[in-house]
Every structure is written in structure tokens, then in C-alpha cells.
Homo-oligomer: A and B are copies of this chain.
Amino acid sequence: MLDLATRVYNHNFRIDPIVRSLLDTDFYKLLMAQMILRRHPDVSVTFGIHNRTRSVRIADEVDIDELREQLDHARSLRLGRGEATWLRGNAFYGTRRILSAEFIAWFEQFRLPAYELAVRDGQYELSFHGSWLETTMWEVPALAILNELRSRATLRGLGRFDLQVLYARAMTRVWEKIERLRRLPDLSIADFGTRRRHGFLWQDWCVQAMQEGLGAHFTGTSNCLIAMRREVEAVGTNAHELPMVYAALAEDDAALAQAPYDVLRDWQQDYEGNLLIVLPDTYGTTGFLRDAPDWISAWTGVRIDSKDPIEGGEEVVAFWTSRGCDPREKLAIFSDGLDIDTIEQIHAHFHGRMRIGYGWGTLLTNDFRGLVGNRLDPVSIVCKVSEANGRPTVKISDNPSKAQGPEAEVERYKRVFGVEVQAALPVLV
């Protein structure tokens, strides 16, 4: 029997919104925003979209008016009453009240700030200028909107059965990966795929598939809205934007050298336990670990995000050992361009030697490779902070393909952080 009311109601939408809630973002944005609100409420920055996959001309694929409509719709959102209740009442990483009353009060009045949009050479120049606290909240929704609009542009040309079989194939692909994951002993894996997802409903499906397929070995999702609806953990810690802004604000080379550790010193005053995960690669993992103060070895773990995962894992095992820690009590989180093959390789190499967690992103929530030619293949698109209080930000990374910043500044940072010759790895996603 047709549900007439629902059908009529659905046809009343002016658009089909991609982002329908301010919680449709990654949990670590809230943790970082709370730290920014406490400590750096007056810093101004610029965030901007950058498509590393230059061969894909997104502005030719995605209509600019549709993009504006979606961005404008996201700007109309406010935190819902039930959403605020969930943030207040939920235990994150087993701890209640991680988010302060002050932060939630700020979030309740928050709206996404203005954006600037232009087209150059087939790419969108989408940027956000203003308060760090506000502009940082654009990262995830802006990327999710661009990626889903790109999917929709391709899907629009398909027939009803082509669509059904497309999703049948994609579901089969995800499920076969999950069946392989099931065989890994002591697996802990989370969904980190919000920003690059094929679409919201697809990410939601992937999370449910992981829940059913992996049970307690699926440790959660970075997406707050899906975590709330599916009653799983919201997970994540922090990102490169923290050391990048701290570094840009440093007054001299000595302060610059300390900036990455200053971030962690601040962070550990605010958070504890599983939130104490070092992200060491912003200015090169090797130098970071070499110069790290001893209290950093007391942190719960390290996230390995741009170095070859075996090499990066060995490096942190050696670091912990050199500082007198037992790596088997430490946690390494792998989160860089993972797919089932790399997860299996990492697991085969490190299982039993340290605790392992996986943050699985794009190739969980957007592996439609080859299903409509290459038109649904994911692209490596990011939203990065490019300046803070008028000074350019710099990222070195362990993989030169992910570096950013003005050349002279990059050279200065390399000198200050003692970065040596690096091997470039291809950036797939």
C-alpha cells in the first residue's frame, strides 16, 4: 500500500540535501573545536579545498548552482535539541562529559560561516576565511558535499536496474572485504570515511554492514550522526591542522621547533586515555620522535598516516622500545589510504607485537572503482588550513606528495625539523 503522505511530503523538498545535520561530521572536529574554543578563540585562518587528483575536473562534473544550494543548505543547519542531548549524555571513549557545557552552548548557537567559491582550470576554489573555531567546522561537510555531488552527477545518467546492480556490486565488494576482515585475529577497526564517502546513505549502510559483520571488532565511526543513530562509538582524536596552526603562529625558529609538542601538551590537559594518540608526521615522523620529550612516550599510541605503514610501524616500535616502553601495551592506529590488502599486510606484520587499530576511510565508504568506467572512482580531495593570522601554514608530511606551503617556508621548516630526503608515495585516496 502506498504511503501517500510520505510520498507527497518527499516531493515537497526543494532540494535533496546532502548534509542534513551539524552532527554529520567527524567527531575529532568537535574535540579540536573544543580545544580551539578554550585556547585560541581569536585566531583567524583560511581553509580551502584542494583536489590532488588534477586529472579529474570536478567543476566540469558538478554544477556550480547545485554546489551553492548544498553549501547554503548546510549553512541553514542548527544543532538539534536531541543532538545536543546526545552530546551531553553520551559517553565517548567510556568517559562522560568529554564535551563541556561551554562547548555545547557554543555549538547550539553555531552556524557554518560564509564561503567563497570560484572556478579555476576545471577545479573549484572553495575557501573559508575567518575564525578558526568556525571555519574548521566546514572541512568535513564541504568535502562530503563535493564528493556526493560528484557521485550524483554520474548516477543521474543510469537506468533503474543499472543503479540497482551498481549498488549490488558495491555491497558485494564491501561485504567480501568484511568477510576477509573477519579472519584477522584481535581486529579493531573503525569507519573514518565521512569526508570521501560516496554518499551519506551509503556510509550509513557500510557502518551497519561493519556492525553486523564484525560485531565488537568494529569499534565505531568517526561520523557523529551515524554513531548516534546506529548506537556505536563516535571515534577520532586530532588532525594536522593543530600543529600546522600552532607552527604558523610560532614567533621564531625555536618556538617553531616546539610547536608540535605544544599541541600535545595542550591536548593532554584537556583529554585522556584513548584520546592521547600522537599524530607525529606533520613535519616528519623521524625528527618528531627523535626530539620528542619523554612524556610523549607515555601517551596511549601513535597514528601512522603518511609513511609506508610497515616502515612507519617499525619506527614507532623502535621509538617505544628506546624509551623503555613495551610496544605490546601501545596502540598504533593506521589510517592512510587503507584497503583490505594493506590491512591484511599490516596485521600479518605487526599482530602480537603491538596493539593495532585501523581507521578505514575512502576505500570503505567510496569503493565504486571501475563500476561506471572510472567515473565513480574516488579522488584525493582535501580541505586544509592554508594560513593562520595572516601567516602561511606548512605541512611537510612523511610523503612529499602531501606537502603544502610556500617554498621558502617549506625549506625553513625542513631545516628547523631536521627533515632529510623523503621518498614520495603515490596518493591514491
Does A401 count as interface, using CB distance less than 8 angstroms? no
User: At the interface with chain B, which of A160-168, A232-240, A253-261, A341-349?
Assistant: A160-168
**A165 x B161 contact (CB < 8 A):** no
> Does A212 lie within 8 Å of B175, measured CB to CB?
no
CA distance in complex: A212, B160 (Å): 8
Q: Is the CB of A168 within 8 A of B161?
A: no
Asked if A182 CB lies within 8 Å of chain B CBs, one says no
> Bound complex: CA of A1 vs CA of B4, how far in Å?
10
Is A323 at the interface (CB under 8 A from chain B)?
Answer: no
Residues of B within 8 A of A169 (CB): 168, 172
**Are B9 and A5 in touch, CB under 8 angstroms?**
no
Q: Tell me the smallest distance from the CB of A120 to a CB of chain B, in Å.
A: 39
CB nearest to A176 among chain B residues: B165
| In the complex, chain B residues whose CB is within 8 Å of the CB of A293 | none
Q: Are B165 and A171 in contact (CB under 8 A)?
A: yes
Flag A146-185 by CB within 8 Å of B: 1 or 0 each.
Answer: 0000000000000111101101110110010000000000
Query: Are A172 and B161 closer than 8 Å at their CB atoms?
Result: no
In the bound complex, CA of A213 to CA of B163 (Å): 12
Q: A1-B6, A3-B3 are in contact. Are A165 and B159 (CB under 8 A)?
A: no
Interface size on A, residues (CB 8 A): 22
* Complex contact B172–A165 (CB within 8 A): yes
Q: Which residue of B is nearest A9, CB measured?
A: B1
CB-CB under 8 A from A213, the residues of chain B are 161
CB distance B172 to A172 under 8 Å?
Answer: yes
Q: Which residues of B contact A168 (CB under 8 A)?
A: 167-169, 171-172, 175
A-B CB contact pairs (8 Å), 28 listed: A1-B3, A1-B5, A1-B6, A1-B9, A2-B3, A3-B3, A3-B6, A159-B212, A160-B212, A161-B175, A161-B208, A161-B209, A161-B212, A161-B213, A162-B212, A164-B171, A165-B171, A165-B172, A165-B175, A165-B209, A167-B168, A168-B168, A168-B169, A168-B171, A168-B172, A168-B175, A169-B172, A172-B172
Q: Which 9 A-B pairs have the closest CB atoms?
A: A168-B168, A3-B3, A165-B175, A168-B171, A161-B212, A1-B6, A168-B172, A169-B172, A161-B209
Other than the given A159-B212, A161-B213, A168-B171, 11 more pairs (CB < 8 A) read: A1-B5, A1-B6, A1-B9, A3-B6, A161-B175, A161-B209, A164-B171, A165-B171, A167-B168, A168-B168, A169-B172
